[in-house]
Amino acid sequence: MQKKGKNIEPLIIITGHGYKKLHIEEKILSSINALIFDADRVSKDEFLENIKLADALIVGDTNIDKKLIDIMENCKVISEYGIGVDNIDVKAATNRKIAVLNVPGYGTGEVADQTMALLLTLARKIYFLTNLTKLKNWSYARKNTKPIYRLKGKVLGIIGFGRIGQAVAERAKSFGLKILVFDPYQNLHNLKNDYYVSTLKNIFKESDFISFHCPLTEGTVNLLDEEKYKLMKKTAYIINAARGQIINEKALLKALESKWIAGAALDVVSDFEFTEDNVLYDYFLNHDNLIIVPHTAWYSEESEVELRTRATKGVIDILLDKVPESQVN
């Protein structure tokens, strides 16, 4: 795709989005007469040819590394469909004076709801008992229900207490769970009386459920490793709706096989997709105490529209020399 006139029609490349249509983006970008290039519908060679000319990128599940950034001749902004920007080399973009944007808070309620849904599914053995009833029968499943424990009074450890962590805590409180929180980046001095600041080690030792809501950084990669599993109760469950790389999956497999923990529920894995190459794949197929869903925690019809709208409007802000809602560099 060639731009029709110098600085007249900005070229916007949209990649890794997974949407059937880009009608939301098209409507918003029509206000600046932008040319839209859907990279999900073309070959890699076509993508690379056009990225050189792009004025802006809107990015989903695509890695935008230094090599790609270095061939962008005109790019002024990379806008992420999401909160985390670990798929973008922010340092390389900054060196090229390219703004990197994200969309904080767009699916807070959805992720918190899904976290609680996963917690309850584990605690009440919903997935296990549904499958047992299907594979065997009603009576057999009833006889193999035990043990299930009362939620009230159990301990939920929340690692990462930003918007989502706080939303999870609000929901968990209504079930009578005791809330322990750890977040070295948040001011936790003015917590509500029913939340308790804890150390990371204590959360792993004391919690019946541990839920991760921290960003992916050098300090959180493989945060949950073999050593931490050994600290946990054998009846404990983990829930991850943050980033897959926070959990060392080889260590998780060993923890499940060795019965160091009771189970896990994951909305994310270490790669963009969960395939048979993943170390957890065979265990997942053959056991009901590992729940994996395809990174849908963020999703509702409303949150998708919000995400796409805000990510696209950020591009317009930069191209019109306005201050964007959220710039990370």
In tens digits, the chain (329 residues) has pLDDT values of 555 445 579 999 999 999 999 999 999 999 999 999 999 999 999 999 999 999 999 999 999 999 999 999 999 999 999 999 999 999 999 999 999 999 999 999 999 999 999 999 999 999 999 999 999 999 999 999 999 999 999 999 999 999 999 999 999 999 999 999 999 888 887 777 789 999 999 999 999 999 999 999 999 999 999 999 999 999 999 999 999 999 999 999 999 999 999 999 999 999 989 999 999 999 999 999 999 999 999 999 999 999 999 999 999 999 999 999 999 99
Catalytic residues: 243, 273, 295
CA distance 256 to 296: 24
pLDDT at residue 8, rounded to an integer: 74
Cα separations in angstroms, 150 against 130, 172, 175, 239, 252: 20, 13, 10, 18, 25
- pLDDT score of 2: 53
Cα separation values, 138 from 128, 147, 249, 289, Å:
13, 17, 34, 19
> Whole-angstrom distance between the N-terminal and C-terminal Cα of the chain?
29
Cβ atoms within 10 Å, residue 112: 24
Question: 3-class SS at 46?
Answer: helix
pLDDT score of 272: 83
pLDDT at site 192: 72
Asked if 156 and 208 count as a contact pair (C-beta separation under 8 A), the reply is yes
> What residue spans of 55-125 are helical by DSSP H?
66-70, 90-95, 108-123
Give, in order, the Cα–Cα distances in Å from 234 to each of 17, 130, 153, 282, 290: 40, 23, 17, 22, 15
Nearest Cα residue to 112 out of 162, 168, 161? 168
Longest dimension (CA), the chain: 73
Helix (H, G, I), strand (E, B) or coil at 245: helix
- Domain 11-106+301-319 falls under CATH 3.40.50.720: yes
Residue type, 60: G
* Nearest CA-CA partner of 18 in 328, 315, 272: 272
| Cβ count within 10 A of residue 189 | 6
Residue with token string 């409507």: 27
For residue 176, which amino acid is it?
G
Residue linked to tokens 């424990």: 149
Q: What is the pLDDT of residue 189?
A: 78
8 A C-beta contact, residue 80 and residue 57 = no
pLDDT for 267 equals 98
Q: Looking at residue 187, what is its pLDDT?
A: 81
pLDDT at 3: 53
pLDDT of residue 188: 82
pLDDT value at position 185? Answer: 85
* pLDDT recorded at residue 302: 97
d(CA 17, CA 65): 17
CA distance 154 to 262: 15
Instruction: Region of 256 please: left (phi>0), alpha (psi -120 to 50) or beta.
Output: alpha
Nearest to 12 by CA among 72, 91, 88: 72
**Identity of the amino acid at 210:** I
| CATH 3.40.50.720 domain span(s) along the chain | 11-106+301-319, 108-292
pLDDT at 193: 74
Helical (H) or strand (E) element with 164: helix 163-173
The answer for residues whose C-beta is within 8 angstroms of residue 111's C-beta and 6 or more apart is: 164, 167, 168, 213, 241, 297, 298
Cα torsion 84, 218, 230, 155: sign: negative
Written out in words, the top-level CATH class of the domain with range 108-292 is alpha beta
